Amino acid sequence: MITPEIIEIKTDVAVIGGGTAGLNCAMAAAESDCDVLVVEKANIVRSGAIAGGIDHFMAYMENGEDWDSREAYLGYVARVAKGASNLKIHEKVYCDELPAAIERIESLGISLRDPRYPNSQDFFRTQSMGQPGPYWINFDGKKLKPRMAREVNRRGCRVLNRVQVTNIFLHDGELAGFTGFDIRTGDFYLIHAKTIIISTGNTNRMFRTQNGNPFNLWYCPANTGDLHRAAYDAGVELANMEYVRMTIVTKGFSTPGFNAFFGMGCKLVNSLGESFTKNYHPMGDKAPRNVMVWGALQEIKEGRGPIYMDARHLSTEDLDHLFKTLGTDKDTLPDYLAAKGYLKDGAMIEMTVSEPMQARPSELCGAGIKIDENCASNVPGIYAAGDAADQMGCLHMCTAGGFAAGKAAAAYAGTVTKHHPVDMTAVRDERERVFKPLGRNSGLHYSEFENVVRIITSDHFGPIKTELSLNAALEKLDGIDGERNNLRATNLHELMRCHESSNIHQVAKIMAHAALVRKESRFAPYHYRADYLETDDDNYCGLIGISKGADGQAQTRFEPLEYPI
């Protein structure tokens, strides 16, 4: 085992996770007088969800059409994300910030204009996911992440790359600091901060995948709920944790592409060649994502699988653009489609349902740290943004809401006169905990442990669940606590993975606890209780808040949400 020196750094605002949201947080906080530090597990130039590019930004644009107004958009949120999205927070972190977010992206030299024609000044807008009109702006975001990283550097933020944050420390119930280690050098850091913004994405690698490789995922495998777990242990309340998110992906390769396929007019068909989505929702292939996934699961279950993406009716121009934009979103998807032999003409691409993951049930909310209208959690000094927060997710909200969180956290830091002290005994204990797997000669390898977690979660709530299945999952997950505390690593890369696996395991328990309490089904199959099949708005239209009680056990509470329709 190694026992490195404790390297101490002081900052006003620390952003944990330099992904899409985190970099927007940093840009905003840098506009204040605060010192800003970004701590990132990889390198902010290409880390997180949009490392390889992105191609859709959701926006209403007030262009005079009925569907294109703020009111119509909020009506859409109320319809599609009912029971999970808090409209007041949504307005504050998204609507109020939207025009500035669009301007900011373009000011970085990333055009949001029609990617099909050079120098176009028009937006190319497409419709899917239950939208009342074409809210998706299709654009070329291949360079968005590096440009944001450059801007964060230009604004004078300090950046610690390749540091995995491991735990949060409070003083008298308020934030004092956090620890992390460098995954290449083993340096151990204690960061004293007046405020932190947690923007570490959702939790992946938690469920079985279509081909057995836990890293072949739709979402970023480096996001493993590290800070969901750390925040929960520090007393932070989480919400929307019961939802298991899935999508439609190409068979053999889990990637995004849903917006592109359906936005460009593709049809999902079963193995009889029948378009089936209208059987599940009047909007057919333009239905909300969860309904499409539900329909696909039923077709497969009832023997009409495999399913296919039918692009045969698209014009040559649209097909060309479809294949191009698929590669903008997922750089290697065109290579894969070529390797599979799918020709652009007459393509019937075999699809399937992706692996489940811990994340938001809709593109109009989030899942994770429960935030208020100022992006603050219940613990003073701890803020959250992006996929790690319960009211944010997707590019549009991570960009707009990330900025809102950065502003609010910096304003809070401005009111804190001095840093709270951190208990150094606790920090030394944490250092010992962090490096312990390196000193073990026995114990499970992280991959073996993680596989056990995935079998339990997939069998018991991936995605279908009942009271019995959830209780059994919790019993089994508790039953491997001993193995989790005895993981073995032979180098720093494996050490990082050990902590990731351990966090995945603990977030899985939080999910199962939250899912037990929601005795209804909502956003099926994302929360599908086989023992409570109906959506029960009278009792469950709202958030399940989950936090760690004084006895160490999960405690939950229900917070109702109201909608005008």
Partner 1 sequence: MPAVISQTKCTGCGLCDLFCPIDVIHMEGDVAIMRYPDECWHCGACRLHCSKGAVTFEFPASMAGI
Ligand X SMILES: Cc1cc2nc3c(=O)[nH]c(=O)nc-3n(C[C@H](O)[C@H](O)[C@H](O)COP(=O)(O)OP(=O)(O)OC[C@H]3O[C@@H](n4cnc5c(N)ncnc54)[C@H](O)[C@@H]3O)c2cc1C
Give the count of residues interacting with ligand X (CB under 6 A): 42
Q: What are phi and psi of 248, to 5 degrees?
A: -100, 125
Backbone dihedral region for residue 252 (phi beyond 0: left; psi -120 to 50: alpha; all else: beta): left
Q: 8 forms bridges with which residues in the sheet?
A: 190
The nearest distance, CB 497 to ligand X, in angstroms, is 12
Task: For residue 490, give Cα distances in angstroms to 1, 437, 441, 444, 485.
Answer: 10, 8, 9, 11, 16
The nearest distance, CB 233 to partner 1, in angstroms, is 25
Is residue 18 part of the contact set for ligand X (CB under 6 A)? Answer: yes
The nearest distance, CB 366 to ligand X, in angstroms, is 8
Q: Which of partner 1, ligand X, none does 393 bind, CB closer than 5 to 8 A by kind?
A: ligand X
Buried b / exposed e along 513-532 (16+ C-beta atoms within 10 A): bbbbbbebbbbbbbbbbeeb
Task: For residue 287, give Cα distances in angstroms to 8, 26, 80, 416.
Answer: 51, 35, 10, 47
Which of the residues 73 through 102 are near partner 1 (CB under 8 A)? none
SS3 49: coil
Give the count of alpha carbons within 13 A of 218, CB side only: 25
Q: Given candidates 92, 396, 484, 527, which one binds ligand X under the rule CB under 6 A?
A: 396
Q: What is the Rg, in whole angstroms, of the alpha carbon atoms belonging to the chain?
A: 22
Pick between residue 465 and residue 505 the one whose CB is nearest to ligand X.
505
CA–CA–CA angle 214, 216, 218 (5° rounding):
110
Is residue 16 part of the contact set for ligand X (CB under 6 A)? Answer: yes
Q: Given candidates 107, 213, 279, 490, which one binds partner 1 under the rule CB under 8 A?
A: 213
Q: Which of ligand X, partner 1, none does 21 bind, CB closer than 5 to 8 A by kind?
A: ligand X
The nearest distance, CB 112 to ligand X, in angstroms, is 12
Q: Given candidates 37, 41, 190, 408, which one binds ligand X under the rule CB under 6 A?
A: 41
Q: Given candidates 64, 118, 212, 564, which one binds partner 1 under the rule CB under 8 A?
A: 212
Contact 264, 318 (CB under 8 A): yes
The nearest distance, CB 51 to partner 1, in angstroms, is 4
Cα–Cα distance measured from residue 342 to residue 334, given in angstroms and rounded to the nearest whole number: 10
Q: Given candidates 222, 246, 297, 413, which one binds ligand X under the rule CB under 6 A?
A: 222
- Residue ranges of alpha helices (H) inside 108-200 are 144-154
Is residue 51 part of the contact set for partner 1 (CB under 8 A)? Answer: yes
Is residue 431 part of the contact set for partner 1 (CB under 8 A)? Answer: no
Pick between residue 284 and residue 402 the one whose CB is nearest to ligand X.
402
Q: Given candidates 269, 496, 541, 544, which one binds partner 1 under the rule CB under 8 A?
A: 496
Contact 193, 185 (CB under 8 A): no
Query: Which residues, 6+ apart, have CB-to-CB distance to 211 below 8 Å?
Result: 252
Buried b / exposed e along 448-476 (16+ C-beta atoms within 10 A): ebbbbbbebbbebbbbbbbeebbebbbeb
Q: Which stretch binds ligand X (CB under 6 A): 50-58, 311-319, 439-447, 448-456?
A: 50-58
The nearest distance, CB 145 to ligand X, in angstroms, is 8
The nearest distance, CB 397 to ligand X, in angstroms, is 8
Is residue 55 part of the contact set for ligand X (CB under 6 A)? Answer: yes
Is residue 48 part of the contact set for partner 1 (CB under 8 A)? Answer: yes
SS3 110: coil
Cα–Cα distance measured from residue 559 to residue 136, given in angstroms and rounded to the nearest whole number: 31
CA–CA–CA angle 392, 398, 399 (5° rounding):
140
Q: Given candidates 93, 222, 260, 452, which one binds partner 1 under the rule CB under 8 A?
A: 222
Pick between residue 221 and residue 421 the one whose CB is nearest to partner 1.
221
Name the residues that contact ligand X, by CB under 6 A.
16-22, 39-42, 47-50, 54-56, 58, 164-165, 199-201, 219-220, 222-223, 226-227, 256, 259, 329-330, 386-388, 393-396, 398
> Which stretches of the chain bind partner 1, using CB under 8 A?
42-43, 45-48, 51-53, 142, 162, 183, 210-213, 215-217, 220-222, 251-253, 255, 330-332, 335-336, 339-340, 493, 496
